[in-house]
Chains A and B, each alone.
Chain A
């Protein structure tokens, strides 16, 4: 396994108490594999990714338990210097909003070249040549002329390409893309997603794609992990999930996608609100919103039941759910 997150716990200290953002998350990504992590705001999907990258704001955040095994080494036990050498070079991250994520006062060439200067000890001149190469690779037109320009002079799609180029620069083994297309125009989203998938294939990297867009997921992901209230509630190969979800929350997510063949019908919405992370309900955290909830759900936290070899669900009634959705 390239990356294994095991039983990870993250807390945030806030004015209103301790918010339990991540509560025992376990997932893994293999080389060449794309794992999509799905969930709404506050589900802990970004926080998990930041903990993996080692860029969590501490304080207020704090990792209270678990392991992050990357090529067999537990990153959480590494010294900061060793950790830093991994960041950017072996695993890289792409953020949602490229305009605010790129430094406004440095040229894109400087920001791309910096990867080579810092990690590879290259001269500034060589690094600049590398930067042009990278910009060509992510298909930014007139790379040689534009390498000296600043982020605000590029369009949204081009800026996200620069973010991608920066992440690809040292050909890392793992890329974490946190909502990479959410901030873009719909027309540009597909192009950027395509570019990302293509580069991943060429370089044989592992990719963690954090998103809430189920449409994107179907095209590029191999496996899906669905998160709710800081837990994984279902993990499965992508086609299994679309065929028959094994968790009522996944079911709700799928049902709330607008579909052309269901035109005229009222759009489904999961009732209720996501839980307050300072006071997560006892038992199954989804029970207050769950149409299948029974007494046991209010008391017992469901473990990740084994649905099939590659599939797990944290629902006491997963069989019922699968049956109902495949019927």
Chain B
């Protein structure tokens, strides 16, 4: 187990460096962070040169990257477009997005797995077929469409919820945005658990459990579910990162001031430190979530633990 964790940690390092360097390259090499500082005004060449030197932009790219990463690990993420340190933006934005993601993940797990299990156990029946079609439809409607529609119907037309989220972003306000954010993943989780259950229902060990005279409930929860959920867990883990990144659309629709909002502002204003800083944190979240999933995977499947 210990060796497994260490191996996974070591594998994370090149991925972390690769992903952050890629983003760094796009922002600093393809874009022009200094020009953005001045907007439409033509800057004074001497000032530009001074700023470039301050930001190490006169150094080769790999050195810039190293300097930047060095600063990040000392907690210095640079300054945002409005003069605030990027870390301050993060402190206000990340808790909001984290709450939103948690709401989405919980919805995804509870509803998705329940529907998937029911559907998988009733394979081929009308309920199963209906759910399968429904999940395809849900997957096909892009988040920004379903977001506006639900906001319009539930928030404006029927007035069940407030159409936009206040600056506190309380949990109860985040339920609708959480549903919107989770919707596509929810459909994937349903399909994945359905397939997995339907496959495992025919497995030999399930037949053994039935032959042992176990009650149906015990066969399903203790024998079938645990084996079937292993692939679902992997998906959900990988999805945590995707959801935090995907929150950018949801946050825009519901006017939530989270990570997506700050990043969007950063990109619009071409503020390099905001963009690279936020993305770096997101990449770390993504990698850590994947590591946790791998560990959970090993807990669920002893064949991996003892490999």
Contacts and interface: CB of A to CB of B under 8 A. Distances in A.
Question: CB–CB under 8 A between A and B in the complex?
Answer: yes
Interface of A: 53, 55, 57, 84-89, 92-93, 95, 97, 100-106, 114-115, 118-119, 150, 152-153, 163, 166
- The B contact surface, by secondary structure, is helix
Contacts of A152: 302-303, 306
B209 interface: yes
Contact of B212 (A57, A87, A105, A150): A87
Interface string B177-219: 0000000000000000000000000111101111111110010
A102 B215 contact: no
- Residue among B209, B210, B212 having the largest count of chain A Cβ atoms under 10 Å: B212
A105 B301 contact: yes
B300 A88 contact: no
Contacts of A100: 203-205
B222 to A, nearest CB: 8
Given A102-B205, A105-B227, A106-B226, 11 more contacts: A55-B207, A85-B213, A87-B211, A88-B213, A88-B214, A92-B211, A104-B205, A106-B222, A118-B212, A118-B215, A152-B302
Nearest to A118: B214
Interface in B217-253: 218, 222-223, 226-227
Contacts of B210: 55, 87
Contacts of A85: 213
B108 to A, nearest CB: 23
Contact of B213 (A102, A118, A150, A153): A118
Nearest to A87: B213
A103 B300 CA distance: 12
Contact of B223 (A57, A84, A103): A103
Contacts of A87: 210-213
Contact of A101 (B208, B213, B218, B300): B208
Given A87-B210, A88-B213, A119-B213, A101 B301 contact: no
A101 B207 contact: yes
Contacts of A93: 211
Given A84-B213, A85-B213, A105 B207 contact: no
**10 pairs of A and B residues whose beta carbons are closest in the complex:** A88-B213, A87-B213, A100-B204, A88-B212, A150-B302, A101-B204, A103-B205, A93-B211, A101-B208, A84-B213
Contacts of B306: 150, 152-153
Contacts of B208: 95, 101-103, 163, 166
Nearest to A170: B213
- Residue among B205, B211, B218, B227 having the largest count of chain A Cβ atoms under 10 Å: B211
A297 B218 CA distance: 51
Nearest to A90: B213
Interface in B39-97: none
Contacts of A86: 213
A152 B302 CA distance: 9
Nearest to A81: B215
A3 B226 CA distance: 36
6 contacts: A84-B213, A86-B213, A93-B211, A104-B227, A118-B218, A166-B212
A153 B302 CA distance: 10
B213 A89 contact: yes
A167 to B, nearest CB: 9
Contacts of A55: 207, 210-211
Nearest to B215: A84
Nearest to B214: A118
B307 to A, nearest CB: 9
A114 B214 CA distance: 9
Contacts of A84: 213-215
A53 B209 CA distance: 12
A114 B208 CA distance: 12
Contacts of B300: 105
A118 B222 CA distance: 12
Contacts of A92: 211-212
B303 A104 contact: yes
A92 B222 CA distance: 20
A104 B301 contact: yes
Contacts of A114: 212, 214
A88 B218 contact: no
A150 B303 contact: yes
B301 to A, nearest CB: 6
Contacts of B213: 84-89, 118-119
B202 A57 contact: yes
A101 B205 contact: yes
A74 B208 CA distance: 23
Contacts of B205: 100-104
A88 B302 contact: no
A105 B211 contact: no
A84 B216 CA distance: 9
A259 to B, nearest CB: 35
